[in-house]
Amino acid sequence: MKFTTIGNAKKLTGLSYLGGVNISQKIVKSQKVDKVMTYCLYLAPAKTSGYNVCPFSTPECRKGCLATSGRAKVELLSGINNIQNCRINKTKLFFEQQTFFMDWLIAEITAYQRKAIKEGMGFAVRLNGTSDIEFENILVNGKNVFEIFPNIIFYDYTKIVSRIKKQLPTNYKLTLSYTGRNTNECIEYLNNGGTVAMVFNTKTLPETWNGFRIIDADISDARFKDAKGTIAGLKWKNIANKQANIEVKNSIFCIQENDANCKW
């Protein structure tokens, strides 16, 4: 397939869009709190599409993935799979028609950037809403997407430790995700001025964890604004599978009330 226009791409694929700026509550919060319009791309997580987009996912994060929270959770509980099927189809398109996908992605980012400027908003892009793809390695006419848009801020959460050790583009900020299995890597990254995202199964967020300051990351998703060496604290979000919900929120994936490393 060859990309020509967004309208034609929709007709060819049957997809309404690749990404958007109002497709999750947290992304919308960034607009209200930080005046930043964020374009976010959501794909089918882990291997749910037949392609693995989360190479360092853990059993806990696969079971408790936010792909089944929010609007997707409402759909699943109603016996509807529109969002899930859409994400699967987008993921397959990414792997099977990558040039077409990337051209469409670039066109959407361009359009939403214009929209943000018109509305007097800041603009940012998060490509891995429910994936962990190394977009820095994907080239379009010899450039990655960060080089194509040098004046746009990109950010993501990642579990791939090798990514945070790379010399990444200056307009791309990565927050390392805590899994309960990468404590040493998280502490090292924090000590080096990086930021870490942690999920808490607690009534309130602690002030610190291992001496590192915790901020409330549920207020806004603009992680690129976080101070160096801070933890982005996230409250556990319930998922559609009730049994998995109980298991994961009480697992090593989440920081618990009795964690000795926390200070309230």
- Quick: pLDDT tens for 241-255: 889 999 999 999 999
* Nearest CA-CA partner of 152 in 187, 204, 113, 192: 113
**Token reading at 172:** 């791309």
Query: How confident is the model at residue 75, as a pLDDT?
Result: 47
Q: How far apart, in whole angstroms, are the C-alpha atoms of residue 249 and residue 245?
A: 6
Query: Position 135: which residue type?
Result: F
pLDDT at 163 over 60: yes
Domain count, the chain: 1
User: Is residue 3 assigned to a domain?
Assistant: no
User: Is residue 5 assigned to a domain?
Assistant: no
pLDDT band at 24; cut points 50, 70, 90: confident
Average pLDDT over the chain reads 93
Range of the domain at 166: 17-263
Q: How far apart, in whole angstroms, are the C-alpha atoms of residue 228 and residue 213?
A: 10
User: Is residue 8 assigned to a domain?
Assistant: no
Q: How many CA atoms lie within 13 A of 233 on its CB side?
A: 19
User: Is residue 7 assigned to a domain?
Assistant: no
User: Is residue 10 assigned to a domain?
Assistant: no
User: Is residue 120 assigned to a domain?
Assistant: yes
Q: Residue 52: helix, strand or coil by DSSP?
A: coil
For the ranges 28-32, 39-43, 91-95, the lowest mean pLDDT is seen at 28-32
Q: Rounded to two decimals, what is the model's pTM?
A: 0.92
Run of H or E residues at 59: helix 59-63
Q: How far apart, in whole angstroms, are the C-alpha atoms of residue 240 and residue 67?
A: 10
User: Is residue 2 assigned to a domain?
Assistant: no
pLDDT at 77 over 80: no
User: Is residue 11 assigned to a domain?
Assistant: no
**In a 10 Å sphere around its CB, with 0-12 CB exposed, 13-18 middle and 19+ buried, how is residue 118 labelled?**
exposed
